[in-house]
Amino acid sequence: MRTIEITKPFEVRLTDQPMPVAGPGEALLRVLYCGICGADVASYTGNQPFTTYPRIPGHEFSAQIVTVPDNDKGLKPGDLVTANPYFNCGACYACRRGLVNACHDNQTMGVQRDGAYRDYIVMPAERLIPGKNCTARELALIEPFAISAHALSRAAVKPGDRVLIMGAGPIGLFALLRAKSMGAKAAVADLLAHRLTLAGEYGADLVIDNGKDDLPALCRDFTEGGGFDVCVEACGAPTTFLTCIEQAAHGANVILIGNGKKETTFLHSVLLKKELNVFGSRNALTKDFETLIGLVSDKKVDVTRMVSGVYEAEDAAAAFDALAHNDGTLAKILIRFADPE
C-alpha cells in the first residue's frame, strides 16, 4: 500500500509498505483524506522536538471502515469515520482523573507515533468516531476544529461574550468558527491581510491588522472600554500573549492554544489586579469531536471553506513544501488518498 513518510527534514517520500492486519479490538480503515497540521510541517522542517525519523505523519483524517469488531457505537463496514488520535497511557495521574488529552506520556499520531498517511490503517475500535452525515473532506477537518473548540470549552464561552482571537491561522480561524457558533462577538487580529480576509468571511465582527492598525484603540471601541470576556492566544508568541493579558476584562478568561517557543516576561501582578483566569489547552476530547461533527452534519458550521487546496498522495512533497513556504495565503491543505466507495 502507498505510504507517505518524512524520512528526514525537507524530504518526503511515497513508499510501498505491507497492508496492516487488524488485531483484537481493532478496525481496519481505508484512509480517504488527511490534513496537514502545523505539527506535521514542523516535522518536515526539522522543528518538531517530539518527532524521530522516518515518520509517517497525519492525525487529521477521514476513513471508511473495512472491518470492525462488534461495538456499542453501531459502526459497520462502509461507514465514514474519523478518530481520536491522541494515544494515552491510561495509568498516569492525568489519565486516572479523566484528563486523557493531557496524558503524561501522550503519543499523538504523526508525531510520537506513526500516523494516517497511508492507504490503510488499523485503529482501536473504541477510538473511532462516527461521521454521521459529514463528507470525507469535512471529517478530515474535525480534528483541528476540535483543538480550538476544546480550548474554548475551557472558558465556557456564553452568548454575547466578547472574544479576542490573536492569530488567524487555521487554529485561530477554527476558534472563530466555534466562538460564533456559541453566540459570541469576536475580534480577530493578525499580521497577514489574506488571513484577516478569511476571518471576515468567517463572521468576525472586527478584524485588526496588528501591523498597521491601532489595536488598543479598536479593542477599546469594540468593548466599550470594558475589555474582552475571553482572549484566545493562537500564535504562541510572547507579544500576542501579552496583548491578551492587556485586552482582557477584569475577571476574564485567557486561553493559550499557541505552542510558544520563546520565554515571556511580564509583571504577574496584572493577573491579580484583574483577577484573570489563565488556561492552557492541549489536544481535545472525544466529546469535542462528537459535538463538532454534530454541528457540521447539521450544516450549522461550514468548515470546507478553510481548504486552500487538495493534493493527491503522489504529490505530498509539493503540499508540504507549499505550507513550509506559506505566506499566509494558505489555510488548510488536504491530501487525497481515496474517495468513499
Q: pLDDT tens, 106-145?
A: 999 999 999 999 999 999 999 999 999 999 999 999 999 9
Confidence of residue 322 (pLDDT cuts 50, 70, 90): very high
Q: How many CB atoms lie within 10 A of CB 87?
A: 17
Dihedrals φ, ψ of 217, to 5°? -65, -45
**Lowest mean pLDDT segment, chosen from 25-34, 82-91, 299-308:** 299-308
pLDDT value for 259 = 83
CA angle 294, 113, 311 (to 5 degrees): 60
Span 65-79, average pLDDT: 96
Q: Which CATH class is domain 2-146+284-336?
A: alpha beta
Name every residue whose Cβ is closer than 8 Å to that of residue 298 and which is 6 or more positions away in sequence.
Answer: none
For residue 49, is the peptide bond before it cis, meaning its omega torsion is within 30 degrees of 0? no
Question: Does 273 score more than 90 pLDDT?
Answer: yes
* Averaged pLDDT score across all residues of the chain: 96
Q: Which CATH class is domain 155-280?
A: alpha beta
pLDDT value for 13 = 96
pLDDT value for 29 = 98
3-class secondary-structure state, position 29: strand
Cα–Cα dist 123/276, whole Å: 41
Confidence of residue 157 (pLDDT cuts 50, 70, 90): very high
Question: Does 205 score more than 90 pLDDT?
Answer: yes
Confidence of residue 87 (pLDDT cuts 50, 70, 90): very high
Span 5-25, average pLDDT: 96
Question: Does 213 score more than 90 pLDDT?
Answer: yes
Diameter of the chain measured on Cα atoms? 61
pLDDT value for 214 = 97
Name every residue whose Cβ is closer than 8 Å to that of residue 252 and which is 6 or more positions away in sequence.
Answer: 227, 228, 229, 230, 231, 274, 276, 277
Buried b (16+ CB within 10 A) or exposed e, 140-150: bbbbbbbbbbb
pLDDT value for 229 = 98
pLDDT value for 260 = 79
Q: Where are the domains of the chain?
A: 2-146+284-336, 155-280
Question: Does 207 score more than 90 pLDDT?
Answer: yes
Span 184-189, average pLDDT: 98
Span 272-289, average pLDDT: 96
pLDDT value for 266 = 87
What is the model's pTM?
0.95
Instruction: Return the residue matching grid coordinates 459529514.
Output: 134
Q: Which three cell numbers stand for residue 54?
A: 522516518
